[in-house]
Chains A and B, each alone.
Chain A
Amino acid sequence: MVSAVLDPPAPLVKARGARIDAQGVSHWFDVSGSALPVLDNVDLHLRPGEFVALLGPSGCGKSTLLRLVAGLEPASAGSLTHDGRPITRPDPSRIVVFQDPTLFPWRTVRDNVALGLQARGVLSTQAARVDEALALVGLTEFANAHPHQLSGGMAQRVALARALVNDPSLLVLDEPLGKLDSLTRMTMQGELVALWQRAGFSALLVTHDVEEALFMAQRVIVLSNRPARILAEFDNDLPYPRHRGHPRLAELRHEALRLLGLDASW
């Protein structure tokens, strides 16, 4: 599994990472007439090529922030920009990988990966990229399989290939490993980091798993309960590849849990 990522045939992506700036973003949902606030004056800045994790309790509004960054919904207040240009709608340079792989069951693995190229009408000229992306996630042999024939981890890899084939400058990861078993999860955490290092995109990961955030990201932003505010953010300057047993990770973890009010169990 790992080896497939470590010795790929050709580098797929050369794009520079995106710079994302969210300034004073607030958001509320209209729930039967009254406003339900989910985000409260959030500032978020991603440097090009940076890997940032958003850590917060479940239901705190972190996924909503991702949807705003992806352009799937407009923010109720505040501004969001991508390399200085306002984010008004979804764009293939900012790809979201959701918690569910959400593969289209009627398409083969290859056709699922080809989705973005097809949607933009460039499939005929760039078909080779599909096979490159499949090789990158180690699923070349499964190109003609249908999604229901895949395991959870494989399906999530296909979703990743479907994102990477578009050469994104920002990869938005909405708890992408949340439904995997713990072993597959650890493997894929390593794979994702390796992919990010090679491809150079910016990455924004949402997770409620403290260890995952600390193991993968360069910077971790801790969010409060709904409506989400930024409680703290800390840098993790450990070099990659990281080791899960590193004492610095344990320290950071303690700090993060304290911020989330869970340090009693530590």
Chain B
Amino acid sequence: MAALPPYASTGQRLWYWGFRAICVAVLFFLIMPILVIIPLSFNAEDFFTFTKGMLALDPAAYSLKHYQDFFSNPDWQQALRNSVTIAPVATLLAVALGTLAAVGLSQPHVPFRGAIMAILISPMIVPLIISAAGMYFFYSRIGLQGTYWGVVLAHAALGIPFVIITVTATLVGFDRSLVRAAANMGAGPVRTFFKVQMPLILPGVISGALFAFITSFDEVVVVLFVGSAAQKTLPWQMFIGLREQISPTILAVATILIAISVVLLTVLELLRRRSEKLRGMSPG
């Protein structure tokens, strides 16, 4: 199927190209909505569609004014500040606790491993609206609702399953005799962890961190309920913008977020290759 054999019949040829046409159409469906946002964000008018000038590639029809608005509007700037102060702290918390637990979970003898795993993964399974409702009720009881730390704790809890999954996956390929060798040469458990284990599982830890970061950075349902106006993040501001008065600044923000995703995706892909190389799973 990979290549068309010379003896293929007309029907087979038709299907071969027909199938590829279908795939191209689906891939177009996947990627087009993301690409269409980018040129629209440079629209000189406050429209959400291509103006005649844009189609004629008239430079006057393009402008950076929506970007200017993003960087000067206090609402968006406050949202950006909140996003960059919440996500890294939530990530740090998720990675520190998650890596520790993943190391524990990958030991050969862990009692109740299945049950513990189910509990730790549960924030990923439960629909966000349910987590948000529960956290809203419970955090208002203990005075965390509407506070910075409430949002950070909630986001850390949502990011933890990703850290657990990626780090335990990396630890599967980890050679435990290295730990014994380190212990044999007189290293304590802490030193063994930081000098031997950590460098080897670092790609998994970093990709877990990226997942946790993007979970918090993109999250809107939980922050809508657990946060108050003072914790308004970028996705929250976008949500309001989309629901009430849809302003073209959203397209500029969306373009910036797409650029961030491209960077994250590239970093992850490089990490994956490095991790496979370290574990000897692929020759390249």
The answer to whether A and B come from one shared complex is no
